[in-house]
Amino acid sequence: MLLTAAQILAPVRAFRPGKTFVFPQRVSVLVGDNGAGKSTLLGLIRAQYRHHWTPSAMATKDTTGTIALTPAPSDAPDLLLHIDLSQDHMQGRAEFDERHFALQASLVGLSSGQVTLRQCAAMLEATTAPLVLIDEPEKGLSLAKQRAMLEVLACAIEEAPQRQFLISTHSPTIAHGLAQQVLALPEGRWMDTAAYFAALEAHGADMARRYRAARQAERPAP
């Protein structure tokens, strides 16, 4: 595989120096609460490779000495495709070239969910990169379209057995459909997918109870 581990060398957001993330499988699903570092980790990895279609915010920063990848990345072009569908390619038309003009034109007038599905499918079909990073492909999608996105991803994975995928998600539908184990951030611990989402649901229920208790405590007595 093109990437088997990533070690944090300097403090960056949720991560501390020495933290190592291992990717023993061809498909790694990254999960974690908001602010856990999913996009940060993918962005740091992305910044170590030469640009391919979708830019990373990390690529515009000096990340020298921040992360070490195993194996060390080659300087060859087109080794990596980074898909972040929060980047609106219809507004950033410079992200398209002549090869993708038909896709760009076909997106006019569609809903954001339809655009997201078509963009992801087209980018996965067009790439020859051996490493694909996808940041929260379910953004803005209904439950029905999350199920459709799962099929887009599953087909791409099945049709390219030589390709490695790192996919971050908040979607139980996508996570359960792609992997029996997930990489939970910021700890970097591999967990059973069902156990992770059960723990997350329990944590959310506890947060909701504490919020309601705090609101009730703030109300004046009748």
Backbone φ, ψ for residue 212 (5° rounding): -65, -40
Question: Per residue in 194-217, is it b (16+ CB within 10 Å) or e — as a string?
Answer: eebbeebeeeeeeeeeeeeeeeee
**Do the beta carbons of residue 66 and residue 16 sit within 8 Å?**
no
- Identify the pLDDT of residue 78: 82
Find, among 135, 128, 15, the residue nearest to 68 by Cα. 15
> 59 pairs with which residues across the strands?
none
Structural domain boundaries of the chain? 5-194
From CA 116, how far away is CA 202, in angstroms rounded?
Answer: 30
The upper half-sphere exposure of residue 175, i.e. CA atoms within 13 Å in the direction of its Cβ, equals 24
Contact 90, 122 (CB under 8 A): no
Report d(CA 96, CA 105) in Å as an integer: 11
Residue 120 confidence (pLDDT): 87
pLDDT value of position 92: 45
The model carries a pTM of 0.85
10-residue mean pLDDT profile of the chain (222 residues): values are 93 90 97 94 88 49 78 85 71 50 60 76 89 92 93 96 97 97 96 97 95 89 72
* Measured distance CA(196)–CA(31) in Å, rounded: 9
The CATH class that applies to domain 5-194 reads alpha beta
Q: What is the token pair recorded at 180?
A: 């029996």
What's the pLDDT score for residue 51? 57
